[in-house]
Amino acid sequence: MSALEYTSLPMNTEQIKIDDVGQNDRGAYDRAIMVAREARRLGLWDGQETIVVHDPYTTYAGLDRGRTLTAKRLDGGALFVELADDDEKMPQLSEPDPDNALVVPAESTGLALTTPGALTQNPAAVYIASLAAGSRATMVGALNTIAHLLGVPEHYEPRPDLRRTSDGDPVYEDLTFLHMDWAALRFQHTAAIRQALAERYAPATANKMLSALRRVLYHAWKLGHMSNEDMARACDLEPVKGRTLPAGRHLEDGEIAALSAACTADTSPAGVRDAAIIGLMAASGLRRASVVSLMVEDYDRETGELRVLKAKGNVDNEVFAVNGAQSALEDWLSLRGDAPGPLFLPVSQTGKIVHQDAPMTPQAVYSILKRRGKEAGVRNFSPHDLRRTLAGNLLDRGADISTVQQILGHANVSTTQRYDRRPKEAKRKAQQLVHFPYQRRARLIDLLGSE
């Protein structure tokens, strides 16, 4: 398939071939999108025709260093864009070489907005603004996924508030969901979305995405962008049915101890801080977003109480730092001090605690857990596995499930029940009541014969 044959397809990495850097290379794809946006800003591209971006990595890197673009019409009608004053000659062919070019499809879908308009009138933006901070990223991802499925061209914006990547590239945020005309969706669209999500995701994930879709359509109706009848029809979708085994795993007591020991082995302030973070996640069940949102004033040193404000679901909760987790937190505060601000702060490579108003990011906590897990020799685990382990341990040791629900801040006890290991153990013991008469054989190697 030649590169130009991709122009009628939605902007989707699975449908674009990049032979020189590997199939489905997201980095090359994202850079090509940003180059195309720059071409449009410069007036080289009108956004309505096929554009071919030459060598996305090199071209984007050149733009980031202050170079500009040049464009030429290919014999086949596509617009070929590369760096100005590039040493490579512009190809004289009817279609670009697919080995080093990426086609960005024209922005021609009827569900795409030319501009997102005022955010106060954008139903997706209004919906996201109504969520707690900890829930926004998940739902933005869900809405972006739906927009991508419907062929809306991807739109990225730089995040100047975030540190650049290790390669020096700025961090970009996917804002495709703001460029989707949600009020134009009808039942035929939402029914197709439901089917696509059911085929690609676990039932719980698909239903979470459908919930986000329904809420956006509801806000479109509230803003007066669609009728009540159109909204009701588009939202009338059956939930995706099915049951999957819980993701992740429970950590053994020895693995938790190994993580703590890895932090203790680090004699810098980072080791003390990381022990406190892991202790709160393992003993209090805090999500990483909640950990970084804690302020010094949220902690009562006399009782060990921690106020967790605006957690997932916009819910306030209180938990306690107890036993070793409280000791680790007290050690950290002895180093950090009582100055107002985020409870947990960055530590420089020289071991200096960096006092700042901005909290650490959830991604920083993720990196801490990965690093300490590797140092401790602990098998791969996710941050949420610490929360899952706490729930299982509490229930195994006789804690009431409603109390565990309150500690974890779950709105529904059925969510807590998914962490309960006791039914699985009961099933194992029940099956042991049935005996299959078989004894292990000796010297199985003899059955293989000799060559």
Active site amino acids: 287, 312, 384, 387, 410, 419
CB 335 within 8 A of CB 353: yes
Q: Which residue has the tokens 């082995």?
A: 265
Distances (CA, A) of 436 to 281, 430, 431: 43, 14, 11
Helices (H), 176-322: 187-200, 203-222, 228-235, 253-265, 269-284, 288-293
Residues with Cβ within 8 Å of 138's Cβ and at least 6 positions away in sequence, in order, are 208
Alpha-carbon span 256 to 166, nearest angstrom? 30
List the beta bridge partners of residue 311. Answer: 315
Check if the beta carbon of residue 156 is closer than 8 Å to that of residue 174.
Answer: yes
Q: How many angstroms separate the Cα of 375 from the Cα of each of 258, 288, 357, 390? A: 9, 20, 30, 22
Q: Which residue has the tokens 């078989």?
A: 438
What does the DSSP 8-state code read for residue 311?
Answer: E
Termini Cα distance of the chain: 50
CA dist., res. 450 & res. 190, Å (int): 64
Q: Pairing state of beta strands 101-104 and 305-311?
A: unpaired
The CB density around residue 184, as the number of other CB atoms within 10 Å, is: 17
Mention every residue, 6+ apart, whose C-beta is less than 8 A from residue 170: 64, 158, 159, 160, 164
**What is the C-alpha separation between 232 and 218, in angstroms, rounded?**
9
* CA 448/CA 377 separation, integer angstroms: 37
d(CA 113, CA 204): 30
Measured N-to-C along each axis, helices 323-336 and 253-265 cross at an angle, to the nearest 10 degrees, of 20
